[in-house]
Amino acid sequence: MKFELQTLDSYEDDDLVEELKRVSDLVNGRLTMSKFDEHSKVHSSTVRNRFNGWGNALEKAGLGDEVSPQARTITDKQIVALAKDIAQKLNTVFLTNKQFTQHTGIGQKTILNRFGSWKEVLKRAELETVALGRRYSDEECFENILNLWMHYGRQPNYAELKQPPSNVGAKAYIGRWGSWRKALRAFVENASNTDKANQETEVNKPSELKEEYEGTPKQAKSRSLSLGIRYKILVRDNFRCVICGRSPAINLGTILHIDHILAWSKGGSNDPSNLRVLCSDCNFGKGDNHEIA
């Protein structure tokens, strides 16, 4: 039997880079955080935090082109479109460069070379370019709580308002509701009331339209999902990917999305029966197909 340490002897930058290269050779393909965690002697969160993002870490190890060849051929227009799409999937009006890199593997170096700054990408994508220094509406505060809940796979705590991916600072919640606990209670009540209002709207459809709504759910005018619906689906699926079972609360680095089972582009509805929780790896691997192979 061969005995081998399951941890690194050193956690210097060079040692982390060498571990990235070693695992990349093992998996012989696209090096995702989940694959890295499966084979590595150090968790991907350590690497991600050290190099300020997974994409930056891959570029540091010389793996950027290997794991994300699209960064060499993708157009500026496609990068802007990706930013819009990811912001929509995360239900945020302010997308960080770190979030973009985590989802695409396209690092900060590529963004700087193409656009000069991340702010320019946000401008072209018609997204918010400033996250702080303004007043937030109740809806924005609740959206931020939901995004944090999805990010951590559990109820977020007060300290986590001060770090990404939070887009709203602690002062906004204290000033609005008096305490973080009261803000959380207001969020849950709002999510529940929104979901209840949606249900009542369906029940009170005009009688001549009942038959239409009692059959296959009709596609709404917008693919956007209300906060109440998203929270309901997350709770129903236990904040876990329904395909691979991963949850941010257990598997660090896991990013959850609300996915249409029958793709919106193919006529899928926003009915809860057509919605599910997927992690980013399972969701982006699916495209607009009906099933994961």
Greatest alpha-carbon pair distance for the chain in Å reads: 74
Enclosing H/E stretch for 277: strand 275-279
Provide the 10 A C-beta neighbour count for residue 96.
18
Contacts of 134 (CB under 8 A, 6+ apart): none
**For residue 85, what are its two tokens?**
């799409």
- Per-residue pLDDT band at 74 (split at 50, 70, 90): confident
- pLDDT computed for residue 218 by the predictor: 59
> 153-168: per-residue pLDDT in tens?
999 999 999 888 898 9
Give the pLDDT of residue 223.
66
Return the closest-CA partner of residue 90 out of 128, 44, 135: 128
226 pLDDT band, cuts 50/70/90, is: confident
Domains annotated on the chain, with CATH: 13-67 (no CATH), 72-124 (1.10.10), 138-286 (no CATH)
Residue 149: pLDDT band with limits 50, 70, 90:
very high
More confident call, 250 vs 29: 250
DSSP H or E run through 257? strand 256-260
**Residue 217 pLDDT more than 80?**
no
C-alpha 8: how far from chain center: 30
239 in Cβ contact with 153 (< 8 Å): yes
In terms of DSSP H, where are the helices of 154-226?
170-177, 180-203, 210-214
**92 closest CA partner among 159, 167, 161:** 167
Which pLDDT score is estimated for 23? Answer: 87
Determine if the pTM surpasses 0.85. Answer: no
**Per-residue pLDDT at 87:** 84
Query: Taking a C-beta distance cutoff of 8 angstroms, is the pair 180, 174 a contact?
Result: yes
Distances (CA, A) of 221 to 26, 40, 276: 47, 46, 20
* Predicted confidence (pLDDT) per residue in 250-271, tens digit: 988 888 989 999 987 788 888 9
Six-digit token string for 67 = 């794991």
Q: Note the pLDDT tens digit of each residue in 101-126.
A: 877 778 788 888 888 889 899 999 98
